[in-house]
Chains A and B, each alone.
Chain A
Amino acid sequence: MWNYIKYLVLLEFKKFRYNNVVLAILAIYTLIAPAIILAGKDVVTEVPPPLPSSAVFYEFPTVWDYQGYTGSWMVSFCLGFMMIYIITSEVSHRTLRQNIITGMSRKDWFLSKLISLFLLAGFASVLYFLMSYTEAATGTLIYSILFLGLAWWSFRTRDI
Chain B
Amino acid sequence: MNVLTIDNVSKKYGRIAALNELSLQIEKGSIYGILGPNGSGKTTTLGIILGILRADSGHFTWFENAYGEKHRYKIGAILETPNFYPYLNADQNLDIIQHIKGVQSDTNALLELTGLKDRRKSRFSTYSLGMKQRLAIAATLIGDPEVLIFDEPTNGLDPQGIAEVRSILLKIAGMGKTVIMASHMLDEVEKICTHVAILKKGKLLANGPVGALISHDITVELASNDMEKLIQFVRELPFVKSYAVKNRWLEITVAEDMDYALINKMAFDRGIVLNHFAARRQKLETEFLEITSGKKSIQ
* Min CB gap B105→A, angstroms: 13
- Interface segment, one of B22-30, B73-81, B243-251: B73-81
Residues of chain A in range 62-111 having any CB-CB distance to chain B below 8 Å: 93-95, 97-106
The docked-state distance in angstroms from the alpha carbon of A15 to that of B70 is 22
Give B contacts to A, CB under 8 Å. 50-52, 69-70, 72-73, 75, 77-79, 81, 83-88, 92, 95-97, 99-102, 139
The docked-state distance in angstroms from the alpha carbon of A103 to that of B87 is 22
A-B Cβ contacts below 8 A, count: 62
| Inter-subunit contact B52/A20 (CB<8 Å) | no
| Inter-subunit contact A100/B52 (CB<8 Å) | yes
| Inter-subunit contact A102/B101 (CB<8 Å) | yes
Residues of chain A in range 5-39 having any CB-CB distance to chain B below 8 Å: 7, 10-11, 14-15, 18-20
Give A contacts to B, CB under 8 Å. 7, 10-11, 14-15, 18-20, 93-95, 97-106
Query: A105 contacts which chain B residues (CB < 8 A)?
Result: 69
The docked-state distance in angstroms from the alpha carbon of A150 to that of B52 is 41
* Min CB gap B174→A, angstroms: 24
Name the prevailing secondary structure of the B interface residues.
Answer: mixed
| Inter-subunit contact B79/A102 (CB<8 Å) | no
Query: B84 contacts which chain A residues (CB < 8 A)?
Result: 93, 95, 98
Which chain B residue has the least Cβ–Cβ distance from A19? B87
The docked-state distance in angstroms from the alpha carbon of A117 to that of B102 is 23
* Min CB gap A14→B, angstroms: 5
The docked-state distance in angstroms from the alpha carbon of A99 to that of B72 is 10
